[in-house]
Structure 1
């Protein structure tokens, strides 16, 4: 059984809702999903999982959350090469550019991003379906 870590930070609950939908997708495909707050995840845990979905909303001027998510990301990013990784998150303004920037940063670090999903605010039906599909694709 494939074990998938769904590591996220959520300020308003939108990205948390997306994380729960990703977990539904993992479970529907026969995998085991672990929902983990970003502050509770470290590089030491990477080998316990087969795949990863990282979720963070757009903050500030199209940035990752800087107090909890980005420090965790900075710690695990050097260890993610060769692992199955997907990115997701919500936004409220602009057009979701933070995800493009995050994906570019991740790929520049030598990490292949399997998939990304974004939602404007709370995930609508289309974003919900995309989150479930993302989860299933990681199994």
Structure 2
């Protein structure tokens, strides 16, 4: 089962996570969207393929309460893993996602596709991009 781990404050990133999971399922694999509070980095570190989603917070950074500590703990075990990144934002230009992507690549992760970002509530195009991200994840 491919896990789509996310943190969401308003529900926007959660909707994206559900769409990523739908895309994985459409490509013939099993998937589950899981809140970051319901899984440990240690549990996820054994997986070879997964997705991570988090909105931009504060000065275009990951949520510092749950997601940042989770990612920090996951980094030592991420080399060689096939991952997808996604998230929503309200302001800025996606700097938080570019930084997150660079950080994951530096740690050795293999991104299966370009990260997907949506401004505020994901529209039909944004959800379609999330589904495509899930399909790419399933084929990894």
Under TM normalisation by the shorter chain, which class is it? over 0.9
In the alignment, is the contact (CA less than 8 A) between 1:42 and 1:75 conserved in 2?
no
Q: Whole-Å Cα distance in 2 between the matches of residues 121 and 33 of structure 1?
A: 24
Give the structure-1-normalised TM-score: 0.92
Q: Whole-Å Cα distance in 2 between the matches of residues 98 and 46 of structure 1?
A: 22
Give the structure-2-normalised TM-score: 0.92
CA shift, 1:92, in A, is: 0.5
Q: Whole-Å Cα distance in 1 between the matches of residues 102 and 20 of structure 2?
A: 22
Structure 1 residue aligned with 2:111: 113
Structure 2, unmatched stretches of 5+, are none
Report the number of matched residues.
137
Q: Whole-Å Cα distance in 1 between the matches of residues 103 and 48 of structure 2?
A: 22
CA deviations over 1:43-70 (Å, ceiling 9, x no partner)? 3323664411100000000100000111
Partner of 1:12: helix, strand, or coil? coil
Query: Pick from 28, 43, 51: which aligns with 2:41?
Result: 43
Structure 1, unmatched stretches of 5+, are none
Structure 2 residue aligned with 1:61: 59
Structure 1 residue aligned with 2:3: 5
Structure 2 residue aligned with 1:84: 82
Moved over 4 A (4+): none
